[in-house]
Amino acid sequence: MDATTAPHRIPSEMPQYGEAKRVFEMLQNMLEQLLIHRPEEPIPFMIDYLQQNNDNVPKIVVLGPPAAGKTTIAMWLCKHLKSNLLTIENLIAKDFSSRAADDRRHYQKMKPVPSMLLVRLIQERLRKEDCVQRGWILDGIPATREQALMIQALGIIPRHVIALSAPDTVLIERNLGKRIDPRTGEIYHTTFDWPPESEIQNRLVVPAGISEPETAQKLLEHHRNIVRILPLYPKILKVISADQPCVDVFYQALTYVQTNNQSNAPFTPRVLLCGPVGSGKSLQAALLAQKYSLVNVCCGQLLKEAVADKSKYGEVIQPFFDKEIAVPDGIVKKLLCQRLSQLDCVRRGWVLHGFPRDVDQARMLTGRDHMPNRVFFLNVPLDSIIERLTLRRTDPVTGERYHLMYKPPPTIEIQARLLQNPKDSEEQIKLQMDQFYRKCAELEQFYEQAITVNGDQDPYTVFEYLESGIINPLPTKVP
């Protein structure tokens, strides 16, 4: 497009489609692969790449010192994500080619596999159909910066890198407690995982290479290498403390790998804030609008402005205001869609609150191509809502608003003349809360990728959660 003729009225369905189908990321990934492999015939290469349709499969590296539990975490991730686990042992154990057989003989004699042979073996394994379709998880690979650079040079780029860490004293203690069942190959621990059967206990043996000096030497080697590996993955690295229960480590790792990396795609936020009265929607909308230059669209305020401006919609709305009854959905929808279609909303994005309040209203927005791309539900318990609203007061002389707990009046004279809005009575609040939560469950099901945020905390903490949900891509849901 010619930038000199901007601003352009781009149909709203175009960026919505591009974001929903991740078109920008798909083209970016394809271009990366094209430049890495530099095929003689780029068109067939791109067609083959698109047919693979594997942009979202796991591509994970799990690193960590000895006894940090990286193999356990990698195995659990592999099982949960239905992916392929790649270790040095299983790479050289399977007969993928004559190279694997050569590496196996070398490994049996010398133990360490040369980096060049290992990387070529990884490349060969990743070309197999199961790795192409279901992804892969590298356990403890790369172990050196040399290996990491060689893997990158071949175009093997992980999406997530997890580095486990723990104090050396903890790791040495863990390693000293390891025991192996020579009959089954199962690994046990004298403190954390001791078998209840006496028969198994009696046949357990101490594995080789776990003495304190040997473990200390391995840890020293790991520390020397890891500080040179991690800087190669600055944007996709997650360091997790392994000095906690293994299940907690796993769930932190799983949460991370299910999060999409931040995209470079153009993004216009269309934010919807849902929550009961008093949950802080107006405040959060104002904060988001201020920081990101979004258009703050409050449905209730929009109706009041239409009446004040005496517009054609205002004339229709005025009788409902006079009778203090709800404005019909059809009128609200037309007024709201008119506002969201204006150029500032299309170009800058918007943050909407006060609508929709049920599934039927939500479908109205969807039908008019005003589907939000970020939806947040602010969850606040009833007691906190009552505390927030029932203690609100207004000074009839100055119009100043106070809160008896958070913003008390400065003098006794002012306090004596303060008035409470009838809508802030406990009975009215309970009624509105009941109406909201009766329709909330269906609304949450309608917006499947909605994010629930604890609104019962400091407003700026809530804002940070909202901001994170807007900046970062939505998490990938794995069954």
| pTM, to two decimals | 0.62
Both structure tokens of 437:
């939560």
What's residue 478's pLDDT? Answer: 44
Q: Does the structure show a pLDDT above 50 at 1?
A: no
358: helix, strand or coil: coil
Query: Sheet containing 160-165: which strands, arranged edge to edge?
Result: 84-86, 136-139, 59-63, 160-165, 237-241
d(CA 160, CA 257): 6
Kindly report the average pLDDT of the chain as a whole number: 85
Q: Mean pLDDT lowest for which of 200-214, 393-407, 450-464, 465-479?
A: 465-479
Please write the tens of the pLDDT for every residue from 65-108: 988 989 889 999 999 999 999 988 888 776 555 555 555 555 55
What's residue 232's pLDDT? Answer: 93
d(CA 400, CA 324): 24
User: CA angle, corner 58, sides to 57 and 60, nearest 5?
Assistant: 155
What's residue 479's pLDDT? Answer: 42
Please write the tens of the pLDDT for every residue from 379-398: 999 888 898 888 889 999 89
Q: What is the mean pLDDT of residues 448-467?
A: 90
What's residue 51's pLDDT? Answer: 82
Please write the tens of the pLDDT for every residue from 336-371: 888 888 888 888 889 999 888 888 888 888 765 688
